[in-house]
Amino acid sequence: MLNPSEYLDSNGPLAQKLIDFSPRKQQMEMADAIAHALDCETTFIAEAGTGTGKTFAYLVPALLSGRKVLISTGTKNLQDQLFHKDLPIVREALDIPVSTALLKGRANYLCKHRLGLAEQDCHGESKIHIRKLRQIRNWQVKTKTGDVSEIPEIPEGDSIWPLVTSTSENCIGTECDDYNDCYIVNARRLAQASDVVVINHYLLLSDMVIRENGFGELLPIADAFVIDEAHQLPDVASSFFGTRVSGYQLNELVSDISSEYLAEINEDKALLELCDDIKQTVADFRLAMGLPVRRGSWAEIKDKPELTKAITKLNEQLEELKTALAPLAERTKDLDACYNRTINIIQQLSLLTVEPPADHIHWFETYKRSFSINLTPFDVGSEFKQQMDSLPGSWIFTSATLTVGNKFDHFLKQLGIIEEVDNHAWDSPFNYKDQALLYIPDGLPEPQSPQYTSAVVEYALPVIQLSEGRTFFLFTSYRALNEALEILKDKIDFPLLVQGEKPRDALINDFRKMGNAVLLGTYSFWEGIDVKGDALTTVIIDKLPFASPGDPILKARIDAMRENGSNPFFEFQLPNAVITLKQGAGRLIRDYLDSGVLMLCDPRLRTKPYGKVFLKSLPTMPISKELDYVETFFKEKIHKDK
């Protein structure tokens, strides 16, 4: 059999199949290194600079390996692109009989049972609500997968979806009359029978957590695991290896109980009244946490008298609910599931409203109409590594941003990998020395200055004019974005696109079509966006992306690291900021023909010793502090044909 690299060279099947395919030394080397890790069943860490073509670099050896391979990526959008676009291209080019499957989390699949309940319980609902249920029912008759993304007219975040999809809590499993035709069950059956399965990090971690209790359905059957966009994995892991109760979760429980009781029993009103009382207590609980929408340490609010009263009342009501449900649980499978959910929430709430374990962060988050209480372990790496060790086979981790100062130490530590593992960082094949310019202007105030954002906009304006729009203006906070927007409205004639006006993908499509727009975005625009060509020639970043020191999770981690004698700034805050900056900077050059200016406004790049760590982690390109040099670059590289 050929080495994977031979499938990726100028005479290989991919070059013959794809008109715009160009062989890349980095891609071929990476493919062979991954093939070696798959053959030897070892762990391999690969950083692949922008343009390496890492997707093909792992897909080719994965499909050639003959192993059961689980591929996990960062988001559902990337998951869909990988499964519907990249994977079919490689499979067809290699011409080998590999079966594939796409698997998402429960919330992405219609639940026939809950759709029926929602239709029974729609009396008094709005015409819009009833129309949506009718749309879903009409689609349900035709769909084969039950994937809710097939109905674009009902957006992903619509309030109707939780009513007609299931969670691990409210699913009644084999007791369900629709079990044999269940969309999620069928999707999992297909995944278990396929050679290559594409999932996302949330599903990967969810399966790990379920597996701890003996119910994991995917991980035990895989021979190899490819983790794409691996830099996102530690953050996702922190949300799974912990405990959480939310107001939404409580309201969903009592709504499900009310619906099932009315549909199947409906003997007296006492249970329904108790459910209504619990909803009111949940609302009181939210008010007792304070009006602002924020995150904070649980210690800040736990002794508030009104909150203590709400906790006591909620615990008493949940115990009363458990007692009321006990005899009813034997009469319907849905109320039996609700009874078990109630017991579970009582146990979790008890854990979350007392003193936390010493190795956890105890925090809360408030939303407009809901809240959550959370316990997050300080060290998710040890739990993740424990899962890895229990699953024999190859583990491949890859991303464009895994190293800090050319070292993988920070990433390895986050995942609890302390032993020596093979790793390699491939530079981008793009010629940054010729295609890009890094502009770090002199004269800006320190970032803590009240005038900082207005000064950033003042310095950015001539660059935006030289670029003739075609700019991503990336911010580290909504406050700075909104302040900049108010100034820019009256200062430029180019179209302004602002995060939040439309869904992210719609804004990016508008940006491409307009060809001269200025897009203002925060962190969701720093990664996972690919704009090739002349529509984007400038990326401006307002500050070095250090996480907010007021965040309760970060603050607790910093305090714990200090107590253990560690240096939280150099061991945690700085590495995370470097990786985020690399992601933002990576938006600029996306093709061999691209050219552009990366403007980093933060003066700490020059005034602080750690500024060198950021600069060392970026692709090597010319650096200037002179606007005249920027003007010359645009004339010679971008506007040369005008």
What would the mean pLDDT of 575-590 be, rounded to a whole number?
96
pLDDT tens by residue, 596-610: 999 999 999 999 999
Report the C-alpha gap between 54 and 516 in whole angstroms. Answer: 30
Same-domain status, 494 and 409: no
Give the end of a domain, one of 407, 426, 445.
426
Of 448, 403, 437, 485, which is closest to residue 602 (Cα–Cα)?
448
Tokens matching residue 250: 């409580």
Same-domain status, 153 and 195: no
CB-based contact 471:630 (threshold 8 Å) = no
What 8-state DSSP symbol labels residue 148?
G
Same-domain status, 283 and 253: yes
Quick one: pLDDT band at residue 75, thresholds 50, 70, 90? confident
C-alpha distances out from residue 29 to 68, 306, 555, Å = 23, 62, 41
Give ∠ CA 497-500-501 in degrees, rounded to 5.
55
3-state secondary structure of 147: strand
Same-domain status, 335 and 455: no
The pLDDT value recorded for residue 214 is 44
Residue 440: inside a domain: yes
Which of 242-251, 259-268, 432-441, 533-542 has the least mean pLDDT? 259-268
The pLDDT value recorded for residue 551 is 83
Quick one: pLDDT band at residue 522, thresholds 50, 70, 90? very high
- Chain-wide mean pLDDT for the chain? 92
b/e map of 20-35 (b: 16 or more CB within 10 Å)? ebebbebbbbbbbbbb
Residue 349: inside a domain: yes
The pLDDT value recorded for residue 558 is 87
pLDDT tens by residue, 146-166: 999 899 889 888 889 999 999
Same-domain status, 53 and 199: yes
Residue whose entry in the numeric block shows the structure tokens 């009469």: 331
* % of the chain surpassing 70 pLDDT: 98
3-state percent breakdown (helix, strand, coil) of the chain, nearest 5: 50, 15, 35
What 8-state DSSP symbol labels residue 108?
G
Number of domains observed in the structure of the chain: 4
Kindly tell me if the per-residue pLDDT of 352 is higher than 80: yes
Quick one: pLDDT band at residue 217, thresholds 50, 70, 90? low
Tokens matching residue 137: 């029912």
Residue 422: inside a domain: yes
Residue 177: inside a domain: no
Kindly tell me if the per-residue pLDDT of 215 is higher than 50: no
The region that residue 43 occupies, defined by phi over 0 for left and psi between -120 and 50 for alpha, beta otherwise, is beta
pLDDT tens by residue, 257-273: 998 898 889 888 899 99
Give ∠ CA 482-577-469 in degrees, rounded to 5.
40
Same-domain status, 334 and 196: no
What would the mean pLDDT of 209-228 be, rounded to a whole number?
74
Looking at per-residue pLDDT, the higher value among 505 and 197 belongs to 197
Q: Where are the alpha helices (DSSP H) in 468-595?
A: 478-488, 504-514, 552-563, 568, 574-585
CB-based contact 577:544 (threshold 8 Å) = yes
Of 251, 201, 198, 235, which is closest to residue 69 (Cα–Cα)?
198
CB-based contact 325:335 (threshold 8 Å) = yes
Of 243, 256, 376, 371, which is closest to residue 311 (Cα–Cα)?
371
Same-domain status, 408 and 333: no
Same-domain status, 548 and 608: yes
Q: Letter for the amino acid at 139?
A: W
What would the mean pLDDT of 443-470 be, rounded to a whole number?
96
Quick one: pLDDT band at residue 640, thresholds 50, 70, 90? low
Give the end of a domain, one of 353, 377, 401.
377
CB-based contact 102:121 (threshold 8 Å) = no
Q: Letter for the amino acid at 511?
A: F
Tokens matching residue 37: 């890790």
Residue 443: inside a domain: yes
Q: Is 316 exposed, middle or buried (0-12, 13-18, 19+ CB in 10 A)?
A: exposed
Q: Letter for the amino acid at 375?
A: L
pLDDT tens by residue, 418-445: 889 999 999 999 999 999 999 999 999 9
Report the C-alpha gap between 550 and 11 in whole angstroms. Answer: 55
Residue 158: inside a domain: yes
Give the end of a domain, one of 363, 392, 426.
426
Kindly tell me if the per-residue pLDDT of 142 is higher than 50: yes
> Which CATH number fits the domain that encloses residue 77?
3.40.50.300
Longest dimension (CA), the chain: 81
Same-domain status, 80 and 158: no
CB-based contact 469:495 (threshold 8 Å) = yes
Q: How far apart are the first and last CA of the chain?
A: 51
CB-based contact 118:86 (threshold 8 Å) = no
Residue 34: inside a domain: yes
Same-domain status, 372 and 392: no
What would the mean pLDDT of 397-421 be, rounded to a whole number?
93
Which H/E stretch holds residue 494?
none
Tokens matching residue 479: 């406050």
- Domain with 134, as residue range(s), is 110-165
What would the mean pLDDT of 341-355 be, rounded to a whole number?
93
Kindly tell me if the per-residue pLDDT of 218 is higher than 70: no
> Which CATH number fits the domain that encloses residue 269?
1.10.275
The pTM of the full predicted model, rounded to 2 decimals, is: 0.90
Same-domain status, 52 and 138: no
C-alpha distances out from residue 395 to 103, 302, 408, Å = 19, 42, 16
Residue 534: inside a domain: yes
How many other CB atoms are there within 10 angstroms of residue 96's CB atom?
Answer: 12
CB-based contact 611:604 (threshold 8 Å) = yes
For helices 112-120 and 247-264, the axis angle rounded to 10 degrees is 70
- Cβ neighbours of residue 52 under 8 Å, at least 6 residues apart? 24, 26, 27, 30, 400, 426, 428, 429
Kindly tell me if the per-residue pLDDT of 111 is higher than 80: yes
Give ∠ CA 58-231-88 in degrees, rounded to 5.
30
Same-domain status, 371 and 484: no
Report the C-alpha gap between 352 and 16 in whole angstroms. Answer: 59
Query: Which range in 209-213, 215-219, 287-291, 553-557 is most confidently predicted, on average pLDDT?
Result: 287-291
Kindly tell me if the per-residue pLDDT of 118 is higher than 50: yes
